[in-house]
Structure 1
Amino acid sequence: MDLSIIIVNYNTKQLTLNCVASVLESETEYTYEIILVDNASKDDTVVAVKQQYPCVHLIENKDNLGFSKANNQGMHVAKGRYVLLLNSDTIVQPDTFDIMIRFMDENPKVGSAGCKVVLPDGSLDKACKRGFPTPAATFYYVSGISKRYPNSPKYNAYHRGDLDENGSYPIDCLVGAFMMVRREAIEQVGMLDEDYFMYGEDVDWCYRIQQAGWVNYYHAATSILHLKRASSRNKPYKITYEFHRAIYLLHKKNFAKYYPWWVNAFMYTGIVVKTAVALALNTCFKAKALFTNKK
């Protein structure tokens, strides 16, 4: 088996069906399997997949285990030389797999690779080529300085606006929406860190892969469409909390040891403040929506 495609679903029935359809319509010379891990969806996704796509290897969870654990479940049964994390809210191009697998085969030092990820409005999903969220990169991003200098490798070190979105080059971070990983790299560094529920696990994985001597690579010779955050729209509090918790875990696990105590204290304080502000804004938006509906 050349490629194991792992798709995690949580109440994204039609998007998941569309995603699987795009995979099966691929024009590829390589062998692949589709592993769908369902996190206790309540929208009959499992029934629909069984009826329409019996070729899919289906794993049914009784609870929502999150992105990391669900993907790891898929990896435990995956048979491919490469493992692809693919979001349920994506559409792949017919040539995506051929281009990416051929690239990986020709570049044995590449541990993981991602393609160009495009949003519905045609713009780039900036998460597909990122720098690591160091304290400096995080500060410039959160403070808005990165927006004033979008093409600066210093001030926009997180989204790397200085790098051509249509190019191909080594990069710190890829995005879990489309991340193809070599089996040897997985065997060396391990699977996704299950301390992350969702968000941050892809950055953490890229960091560990790079630290082990492999190269993470952005390869824009092909692209996918990403209908972003489809499975998280109805749970803003949970999503907001997990997003900021992921920032905390990333810093604590990977970067804190390289910085003095006052930098770490600044980071942790900033995370707490930003989380509180985000949760307060969510509350205000919900209250406003409720008031508007009552009127």
Structure 2
Amino acid sequence: MFLVDVSVIIVNYNTKDLTINCIRSIFDHTNGINYEVIVVDNASSDGSLTEIENKFPSVITINSQENLGFGRANNLASQYSTGKYLFFLNSDCILIENAIKKMFDYFESQNNSINRIGAIGCLLLDMNRKLNTSYNRFPTPFSQIKRLFIERVNRLFNTHFKLKDRFNYQLDKNYEVDFITGADLFISKDVFTFLNGFDPSFFLYYEETDLQKRMSDNSLKRIILDDVEIIHLEGGSTSRKLSSITIFLNSEFKYMRKHYPVYVYMLYYSIMTILMLPTLFVSSHSKKDKKVFLKMLIRNCKYSIH
């Protein structure tokens, strides 16, 4: 039995001010619906949890003793949730309208044996209210090799070749997409439980892509509502630090290994490794980060062999 309509789940890791602003926007703009807010703190060191508990006594807080990453932290929060629906919301999001109610109403009115909705999301805007990355096409071995190859060519020859965007491609009204950005993912708890939640092997990056790929495999639709908007302050910005690149590429390898045959993965892995090797010769990267990066490449080769 569900006690509330929606459980809003936020993962916090040293983002105290962002999280507080996010929670405040939820309370300011959400009405006409029963909901709860759950915050998982991933062992922050900035006093986030104490500040959140003082400012918002009604918020359910979970104090993790370690940094669980995005997927595992959300899985943990889902175990404490009492909502019919789960709304996974990034801490750097700001609600500017009654978005949660609109998403709830759409899900309730459209989800049936014909539509079989897995998840819905909305249009994300940046600080200037311009369209931010809100949805994307599923990555494939070919698409990722092509993307990296063009990046390398542009950097080497100072050219400006561009790929056709896989994200924010033209939609009709409330159209089905491959996957919704993980910053605002609205899903029924029954579906989330059926899919066993986020794959805990993904620490960061690709966890929402993998979840929605499994939805696709089970004929569950992913829908973007084009009449609902949320501000996503840092959407689309990916750190170029080698440590971040290592985590991202490791997750990409896991995703490809999980969803494609071994021979496809091995070909993809081999080409990607060749294209990524110049990274080891970038002087701005530390020797420690280069060593971790190289170990990650070797480890993913061993996984594919076994």
Q: Taking structure 2 as the reference length, what is the TM-score of the superposition?
A: 0.81
Find the aligned partners of 1:10 and 1:130 in 2 and give their Cα distance: 25
More deviation in 22-31 or 39-48? 22-31
The equivalent residue for 1:238 is 243
TM superposition shift of 1:279 = 6.2
Find the aligned partners of 2:237 and 2:272 in 1 and give their Cα distance: 24
Query: Of the candidates 199, 202, 205, which is equivalent to residue 199 of structure 1?
Result: 205
CA contact (8 A) 2:145 2:272 kept: no
CA contact (8 A) 1:120 1:225 kept: yes
The equivalent residue for 1:159 is 167
The answer on 1:171 being equivalent to 2:174 is no
Query: Of the candidates 11, 14, 23, which is equivalent to residue 11 of structure 1?
Result: 14
**How is 1:79-118 mapped onto 2 (pairs within 5 angstroms)?**
79-108=82-111, 109-118=116-125
The equivalent residue for 1:58 is 61
CA contact (8 A) 1:114 1:179 kept: yes
The answer on 1:213 being equivalent to 2:219 is yes
The equivalent residue for 2:51 is 48
Query: Of the candidates 255, 261, 266, which is equivalent to residue 256 of structure 1?
Result: 261
CA contact (8 A) 2:125 2:229 kept: yes
SS of equivalent residue, structure 1 residue 36: strand
The answer on 1:190 being equivalent to 2:196 is yes
TM superposition shift of 1:63 = 1.3
Q: Taking structure 1 as the reference length, what is the TM-score of the superposition?
A: 0.84
Find the aligned partners of 2:21 and 2:280 in 1 and give their Cα distance: 33
CA contact (8 A) 2:39 2:61 kept: yes
Amino acid at match of 2:208: D
Structure 1, residues 68-123: CA drift from partner, whole Å, max 9, x if none? 11110101111111101100111012221121111111111211011001122443
Find the aligned partners of 1:71 and 1:41 in 2 and give their Cα distance: 16
Aligned length: 272
Change (3 A) 1:277 1:38: farther
Structure 1, residues 152-186: CA drift from partner, whole Å, max 9, x if none? xxxx4x3263x24x842011111111000112211
Change (3 A) 1:254 1:230: closer
Find the aligned partners of 1:171 and 1:230 in 2 and give their Cα distance: 18
The answer on 1:223 being equivalent to 2:249 is no
The answer on 1:148 being equivalent to 2:180 is no
The answer on 1:125 being equivalent to 2:135 is no
Change (3 A) 1:275 1:51: farther
Change (3 A) 1:120 1:273: farther
CA contact (8 A) 2:132 2:236 kept: no
Structure 2 unmatched ranges of 5 or more: 152-159, 288-306
TM superposition shift of 1:137 = 2.5
SS of equivalent residue, structure 2 residue 87: strand
Find the aligned partners of 2:237 and 2:149 in 1 and give their Cα distance: 28
SS of equivalent residue, structure 1 residue 244: helix
CA contact (8 A) 1:115 1:218 kept: yes
Structure 1, residues 245-282: CA drift from partner, whole Å, max 9, x if none? 1110110001236xxx2x4233112433455445654x
- Taking only the aligned residue pairs, the percentage that are identical comes to 25
SS of equivalent residue, structure 2 residue 203: coil
Alignment root-mean-square deviation, CA:
2.6
Amino acid at match of 1:3: V
Change (3 A) 1:279 1:114: farther
The equivalent residue for 1:39 is 42
Find the aligned partners of 1:230 and 1:34 in 2 and give their Cα distance: 25
Query: Of the candidates 182, 187, 197, which is equivalent to residue 181 of structure 1?
Result: 187
